[in-house]
Amino acid sequence: MRVAGYARVSTQEQKLHGVSIAAQEQALADWAAEHGHEYVGCYNDAGISARSRYTKRPELLRLLQDVQAHRVELIIFTKLDRWFRNVGDYYEIQRVLDDCGVAWKAIWEDYETETASGRLKVNIMLSVAQDEADRASERVKFINDGKRAKGQPAGSKAPLGYIIKDRQYQIDNDTANAARDMFTAYIRLQSVLGVKKYMLETWKIDRAYTKYVNYFRNRLYIGEVYGIENACPAL
């Protein structure tokens, strides 16, 4: 039987619970080998939240294309919540799998969809998983809203010229001059692409074009954090 693995983890899950894409991939490959199946590979959506719609999971979409091309006969994943935490999305995908005669299995859990009681169990567990994801999202939003109200960083990264220290944005003495020069260069060149090239040649700083666009739009550089003026030193 041709078996495909599917792995997923959000960056938040990786940080909080140590969920690893590599560990999932290895477990899936081992299971396929132990059961004598032809393992066609693992489709992994690293850094994808459980709340993301399936249309936002590129590897899942690629897997579905291979299912419809009859390259896959069985899909395996470690746990049901790696597959879906959204009941609506689950049934949309399940219709595709049913049409193609493709089954799925959670190798670390006991689920089946051949009986009414089995389908009820899947529905219950998906509903619980969706509720857990919703609650986690609400907690993160509550914490981040509190930080924004105080002008504190909601994330873990600061733009060029700043660092996050003691829960505040502070000027990074190592890159502050480069950040100031970045704005001077833009005034002179009037080109984001020109600034990107200039920063690489002059400061050996290589950032994506979109990163520079975000820098030039970031009001942090004038001391404003989430609409709060003078919340941090201005560059």
The per-residue pLDDT for 139 is 65
Q: Specify the pLDDT at position 81.
A: 81
Q: What is the mean pLDDT of the chain?
A: 85
**pLDDT tens figures, 168-213:** 889 999 999 999 999 999 999 999 999 999 999 999 999 999 999 9
Confidence band of 63 (pLDDT split at 50, 70, 90): very high
CA 172 to chain centre: 28
**76 closest CA partner among 151, 160, 5:** 5
Which segment of 19-28, 78-87, 149-158 scores lowest on mean pLDDT? Answer: 149-158
What is the per-residue pLDDT for 145? 59
- Three-state DSSP state, 150: coil
* Rounded average pLDDT over 137-156: 60
**Structure token pair of residue 205:** 């700083």
C-alpha count within 13 angstroms, C-beta hemisphere, residue 176 = 11
Tell me how far CA of residue 211 lies from CA of 149, 185, 206, 227, in angstroms.
25, 15, 10, 21
What are the structure tokens assigned to 22, written together? 């590599």
For residue 26, with 0-12 CB atoms within 10 Å meaning exposed, 13-18 middle and 19 or more buried, which class applies? middle
pLDDT at 161: 95
Q: Which pair of tokens denotes residue 114? A: 């051949």
Whether residue 31 is predicted with pLDDT greater than 60 in this model: the reply is yes
Contact 195, 185 (CB under 8 A): yes
Cα Rg of the chain, angstroms: 23
- Number of neighbouring beta carbons within 10 Å of residue 182: 25
Interatomic CA distance for residues 85 and 56, integer angstroms? 14
3-state helix, strand, coil in the chain (%, to 5): 55, 15, 30
